[in-house]
Structure 1
């Protein structure tokens, strides 16, 4: 098996890629720190040109290819961010690139990758399907395979983040880092432990894809589902990265979809920063278990910002629903003139804006003379919605409230 990179390899990578990737800001979030009860530092890797940290590892790998390898061209498999990183830097360096992406990859990532000049091949449902196809094409056409995480040069490139984070905030107690294949935390972990041996390292996976947790701990948890964090939805983590993370004694936390959604929404609302599900996984872990981090100096990485705009809109609206600002009320009423006016009057009185109204006369268990009127409303605060419900019930209406959970 390939040898893991050393701190010297990571320092060499930092010099190699200097000036070609952005040294992104590392900022303390006062609001998130107050919410979590810890000192929370965010590394804004979503500000890289391609929107993610993957440029570091991809570029470090490409810069070490021989002239003969460059001429043959490179191939990569990725759900999006590694794809864009390889495509962008390969074009910049004059290296032909082919990228295999799962057919389920968000449109924005496919179009951006093609926009960087790479030939895009869509294959399968998961990253693993795309990986198998890329390996097949590499053998068939002689391309150099640029692995997204299980490669020492790629890991060393990602490790440059660890150097930057501890240069900016040397007294961090713990690093909380999203895990897909494990390349990011492997590189950061090697760098961080060399600089500060007692620093705690926590990896974060989506609850639906606990592959690295199982690889490290030897557990067997169910794997699969439609996660918001598709960038870390990996069925088979790296062999090299698994060994590195075991050696570093990394603990892996699992986060639920609800916490991922909340983290994406909070970063948009509080930090005014667009972050994809995988990129928000670190914050999701802090939100899921704030007691674990209370009073400590925590560093986490907003490692990608490439989220489909429609999906982002859904996440933000769902967050308004969960916070009680938007509600859908099912109101049982007699189907006669004035019923709807009586209902909407209560919304007006409570200062709740009506977004949508729908009558359901057929698909209901109510008597034939009755109807269910679904009213979706948006309020200034949850108390206004509660007020509407009280007013409707006081007027004799039966009210049910739709829930996301």
Structure 2
């Protein structure tokens, strides 16, 4: 019997055993890549820990999600295989199903929010999936997927709360134990909790002294809310750079599995995420989406000071970010790092006023990248104009030097530096 169009199948929370994850590893072997997990000298120096990066962004679909997708698809009945599957996804689960569905000749339909990253939408279609864009949030996309599953008699594969998906994601932990056997801690990004539940099951059983730390965006901290309440809690999410983790409600299965195994869960803000994405691109030459950068963001934000000197594994879970979006994030990261500074100056509306400002900035060693000269909306004083100026700086200390030079030269700033992120 098919589920109702408005709700997922009701069931009690299911467990996932170590033996099921062992079986999943054998099932997906050869179909999913064994990704590198190497120490980053640059990130180790930056954080004070020995940082090892598990590079899941190097999977064929750019994300760890294909582990769970492949394991779930491999266990369909003959009838389910013929009819096809459907899923709601912000992108990476959809990509995993689309790619492996094509490899296994299984029809795949994915329902994505209308504002899902364009790169993920385009790639799902290239992999042959039927992509349906519906709603503004994951919850709206999920409701539509459930409705379509009932009407078209398709097998619904949950992106994180399906036991087969959880088991597939857990296979990653075996590789980590083989690649970094003396690891002290692992930092796991959390959306709905599928990766955390699968990885924690393996690590707790085989290396119980290893710290398992979950990290989620502060703007979508559903897992922490669920842990506190003891059951899934629906929260209101806000925009986050970690769009792959923007889930309003953690899974019932994932909560039950992970709660006794995870040591702690921390949340990171948007500025830390932007900085982490910048550092990964600049220092490790990795293009990582916000979800995959959360572990480094937690370390950069000073949330895990006790990991200094420890051997820490970061899961770089995905790299599927639109190039234009990535460039904007890098600019935000540069601004948060004090390497781009924008200010509004009041200068004389006479010949030489702009030259004077440019000279002061040159003497301060600040490279001007943009100037907007605003005469019409400069206020009642017709002798002065507003100049919105963007400059490149070395760091926040250099910004302070620029401000001092401007003040000494008699250049009045109309307001404080603009905030980079909403609270």
**TM-score range, shorter-chain basis?**
over 0.9
Partner of 1:357, secondary structure, is strand
CA-CA distance at 1:126 after TM superposition: 1.4
CA-CA distance at 1:171 after TM superposition: 1.6
Report the counterpart of residue 403 of structure 1 in structure 2: 418
Report the counterpart of residue 51 of structure 1 in structure 2: 62
Partner of 2:388, secondary structure, is strand
Partner of 2:176, secondary structure, is helix
List gaps (5 residues or longer) in structure 1: none
Report the counterpart of residue 205 of structure 1 in structure 2: 216
2:16 corresponds to 1:9:
no
CA-CA distance at 1:366 after TM superposition: 5.8
| Distance in 1 (alpha carbons) for counterparts of 2:74 and 2:281 | 35
If the length of structure 2 is used for normalisation, what is the TM-score?
A: 0.91
Partner of 2:219, secondary structure, is coil
| Stretch deviating more after TM superposition (138-147 or 220-229) | 220-229
After superposition, where does 1:3-402 map in structure 2 within 5 Å? Answer: 3-218=14-229, 223-288=236-301, 289-365=303-379, 367-379=381-393, 385-399=399-413, 400=415, 402=417
| Distance in 2 (alpha carbons) for counterparts of 1:393 and 1:258 | 28
Partner of 1:396, secondary structure, is coil
CA-CA distance at 1:382 after TM superposition: 5.3
8 Å contact kept, 2:278–2:334: no
Residues 19/270 of structure 1: CA separation in 2 closer, same or farther (3 Å cut) = same
| Distance in 2 (alpha carbons) for counterparts of 1:324 and 1:53 | 33
| Distance in 2 (alpha carbons) for counterparts of 1:222 and 1:21 | 34
Question: Alignment RMSD, CA only?
Answer: 1.8
CA-CA distance at 1:278 after TM superposition: 0.7
8 Å contact kept, 1:321–1:327: yes
Partner of 1:224, secondary structure, is coil
CA-CA distance at 1:261 after TM superposition: 1.0
| Distance in 2 (alpha carbons) for counterparts of 1:316 and 1:386 | 22
CA-CA distance at 1:173 after TM superposition: 1.6
8 Å contact kept, 2:360–2:409: no
If the length of structure 1 is used for normalisation, what is the TM-score?
A: 0.95
8 Å contact kept, 1:216–1:245: no
| Distance in 1 (alpha carbons) for counterparts of 2:47 and 2:13 | 40
Report the counterpart of residue 5 of structure 2 in structure 1: none
CA-CA distance at 1:365 after TM superposition: 4.3
| Distance in 1 (alpha carbons) for counterparts of 2:201 and 2:357 | 62
Partner of 1:52, secondary structure, is coil
8 Å contact kept, 2:32–2:67: yes
| Stretch deviating more after TM superposition (241-250 or 221-230) | 221-230
Partner of 1:147, secondary structure, is coil
| Distance in 2 (alpha carbons) for counterparts of 1:306 and 1:96 | 23
**Number of aligned positions between the proteins:** 405
Partner of 1:247, secondary structure, is coil
CA-CA distance at 1:352 after TM superposition: 2.9
| Distance in 2 (alpha carbons) for counterparts of 1:184 and 1:391 | 51
8 Å contact kept, 1:322–1:404: no
